[in-house]
Chains A and B, each alone.
Chain A
Amino acid sequence: MTLHALTKPWEPMSYGFLDASAKREIRRKMIKAIAVPGCQMPYASHEVPMARGWGTGGLQVSLTLVNPSMRVKVIDQGADDSVNAASIRRFIARVAGTPTTMDTLDADLIQSRHRIPEEVLREDQVLVLQVPNPEPLRPVQPNMSIARQMHADADYGRMWLQLYEQIVRSGRVMQGASYPSLVHGRHVMTPSPIPRWDVPKLHMAKHLTILSAGREKRIFAVPPFTRVEPLVFSDVPYKVEDHADLTCHRSGTRGFFMNEIPQDDGTSVFEVSDSAWGVKAIRRRDGEEVALGETWYKNGKMPS
C-alpha cells in the first residue's frame, strides 16, 4: 500500500462540506433513528462552519441528504427571510449547489427551526427539525445518563407528575412549545420547540421528519404514518394556542399560527407565522395565480 492509496484527490471542500465518512456515520444513525421512532440516537456530530446551537444538527442531516436536484427550503420561526434561515440556506446552496425555494409545495427538503409549515407535507418530502435540547426529561432529570436509563425503562412517571403538578398549580399544563409526546407508543420525545399548534402535524403524517441536535449530538426521527401523541390526561384534553380566530393584518389569512406584534397604543396586531404562506395569500389576493396547498388546519381546526 502507498500513502497515495490512503488519501483521495485533493478537493478544496467535499461536496456538501461533510466528508464521506461523516456522511456515512450520519446515514447509519439515521437508519437506527427511523427504525426506533422517537428514540434519541447518539452520533458524532462533526463541527460545521457555524456555531453550535445555530442549527448545526439539522444542517448535518441536510448536508448528508442533499444532491444537486434536491430543492431546499429553510425557515426559522416560520420565516424564510429570518437571518439565520437565510444564512443556512445560502450555505447549503453554496456547498451543495442545490436550488432553493420558499414555497413549501416546491421543496424536497425543508430544514426548520421551531415551526412546521401550514401546508400539508407530502410523502416525498423530508422535514429536518433543528433541536436545541433533545431530552424531554431534562426538566425533571438534567443528568443525561440517568435520563437515558429512564427512557430504557420507559420510566416516564416523573414526566407525568410534572404535568400533573402544573395542572394543580396553574389550572393547566404550562408547557408551551416542545410539548413532550409519546412516539409509536414507546418513547417520549421532544418535538423540538415547535408550538403546540404544530405537534398534531407530526401524528400519522405522510412526510418523514428527522430531528437533529448538533450540540447535544443526538438524532431521532418520526417516520411517516407513526403515532405521535402529546402527553395528556384523559380528562384534560390537549389544547393548541388559541390562534384559530386570529387574522393576519397583512395577508388577511385566518386560522393559522400567528406572530403577535405589540403596537404603540398598547394593543397587538397579528401576522401569520408561516411567511411563505402569507406571501402566497397576498399574491393571490392581488390577483396572481398562486398554488395554495392543502393546509393541516381548516378554519382554524385540525380535523381529527
Chain B
Amino acid sequence: MVAAGRRAAACGLLLALLAGATAACGGEDYDGGPIDPGGPAAAAPAAAVRPLPRSLPERIEIPRLGVSAPVSELGLKPDGRIEEPPLSRPNLTGWWKKGPTPGEGGPSVILGHVDAMRKPAVFHRLKELKRGDRVKVTRRDRTTATFAVERVEQVAKSSFPGEKVYAEDIDYAALRLVTCGGSFDAGTGHYRDNVIVYSRMVAN
C-alpha cells in the first residue's frame, strides 16, 4: 500500500516535470492556427474604406507594439526569392515593390526581421498583435493609411501561402506583415515558420 502511494507520487512528479518541459518547449510556438481571441462574435474591424492611389510607403507604426520604423523597398533576388531588409538595420522594414502600395486596392506586403545582430528586431513582437489592433503606414503623398488587424497566422515556411499573401485578388486595400517565427533550424540558418498578420484599411 505504501509502495503504491509512492508510485502515485512518482507519477505525479513525472507529470509535473513533463508539463514543465512541454511549457518550455512550446513557449515560442503557436499551434499553427489563426489567432482570433474574440472569435466570430467579436466586433469586426470598421468597414473598409475606398482605396487610395499608388504612393510609396515611408514609415510604419504599430502603436500596440511600440513600433515606429522606416520602410524600404524590396525586390527579387537573382534566385527569384524576395529580398529582405539588411540584418545590419534591425529596425528597417521592407515593402514588396512589385505589389500594391499600402492603401492601394489589393494586398501590399511589408517584411521585417524578428531578430538580428543578437537583438530583437522590428517585428519581434508581431505575433502579439490581436484582431482590431491598428497599423499605420505613412506614404510619400503625406497620407496615412490605417489598417485593422484581422488575424495572425503562423505557417511552416514549406507551405508559405505566396499566392494569397502577395497576389490575392481583392477589391479593398489590405496590408500583410510578415516575419519569421517558430523554432530555428541551425542547419539552414533560418527559422522554420513565418508569422503573417492580415489587415485591411479602415481609415485614410
> Do A and B originate from a single complex?
no
